[in-house]
Amino acid sequence: MANTLTVLAATRNGEAVLGQTLTAFAAAERPEMPWQMVVVDNGSTDTTRNILDEHAARLPLRVVAHPTPGKNAALNAALEACDGDLIVIVDDDVLPDRNFLRAWSRYLNERTEHALLGGRIAPYFEVPPPGWLLKDRRHYALMFGERDLPEGPTEPGEIYGGNMAVRRSVFDSGFRFDDAIGPNRDNPNYRMGSETEFLRRVGRSGATAWFAQQPLVHHIVRERQWSERAWIDRAYRNGLGRAHLMLKEGRQMRPPQVTLADRLAALSPFAAHRLPALSALHLARGFADEIAATKPK
């Protein structure tokens, strides 16, 4: 089917946010060409399937069941169900801008020399975050996946997975997501960076990337996502992923540094000091653990 657009997402136990996401897609302005939405149910045990069924009449929705654990394995399993020449990959907790589908549809026949495209991501807070976090732009972007670059060429690794598009030709040539990385219900300490690994691997084959300003999603952020536990877990998984990518790509990378100031700040009663310091400590711990796990016994 020529000149079509597919929106692809994977979900597992997404009942807290999935309904909002599907409602927002149903309210989005329709593109001028056919489009479809493919959602992979990755072994949900909550009301996710009921939510998908409830929205089937409002969306050109196709549901793929793939109970084998792992987001990347689920995405790979759904590719055969994707008819689009441009496959837009989003998360199950994003709210697309009303112009989202029309904005992406323009790239079916524009910037065709670029096989990889990224779009904007802005946080949508269910509960307002503390003021100090709004001012800490580096951690704000790291914790909530914010992405906003100028329209134009970019490095593949600068695209974020919550709003990215891949031309079908990439998958037709054999590329798939690495199912050893990324969210997995059987492994809470999974390696982060699955989209980055995929994009950089495709980029090394000669494919180029473009950042598109108009396609915008709002990432739903719940209060628990800036708890101390969330900072620690995310930093540790990020460390695992950084080391994994370094080893897989045969690169040399300086291990994340932890200063005395970080160690002291990790004991602070003030979250503005303690949480970034804990992030630095556990990023380094994850990096070291991944390196150690690869060494011969």
* Tokens encoding 57: 């009449």
**What are the backbone dihedrals phi and psi of residue 92, each rounded to the nearest 5 degrees, phi first?**
-85, 5
Angle between helices 194-204 and 228-248 (to 10 degrees): 20
What's the CATH code, domain 5-224? Answer: 3.90.550.10
Residues 37-56 have pLDDT tens digits of 999 999 999 999 999 999 99
Residues 170-213 have pLDDT tens digits of 999 999 999 989 999 889 999 999 999 999 999 999 999 999 99
Q: What percent of the chain stands above pLDDT 90?
A: 87
Distance separating alpha carbons of residues 82 and 7, to the nearest angstrom: 8
Beta bridge partners of 40: 10, 64
Total-model pTM: 0.93
Q: What band does 26 get if pLDDT is binned at 50, 70 and 90?
A: very high
- Count of beta carbons in the 10 Å neighbourhood of residue 295: 6
217 SS3 class = strand
Q: At residue 1, does pLDDT exceed 70?
A: no
Distance separating alpha carbons of residues 5 and 102, to the nearest angstrom: 10
Counting every residue written for the chain, the total comes to 297
Q: Helix (H) and strand (E) counts for the chain?
A: 11, 9
Residues in Cβ contact with 1 at an 8 Å cutoff, skipping those fewer than 6 apart: 34, 83, 84
Q: What band does 2 get if pLDDT is binned at 50, 70 and 90?
A: low
Q: At residue 143, does pLDDT exceed 90?
A: no
Which ranges in 148-257 belong to alpha helices (H)? Answer: 168-172, 194-204, 228-248
* Tokens encoding 226: 């800036």
Residues in Cβ contact with 200 at an 8 Å cutoff, skipping those fewer than 6 apart: 156, 157, 245, 249
Distance separating alpha carbons of residues 203 and 186, to the nearest angstrom: 30
Beta bridge partners of 120: 216
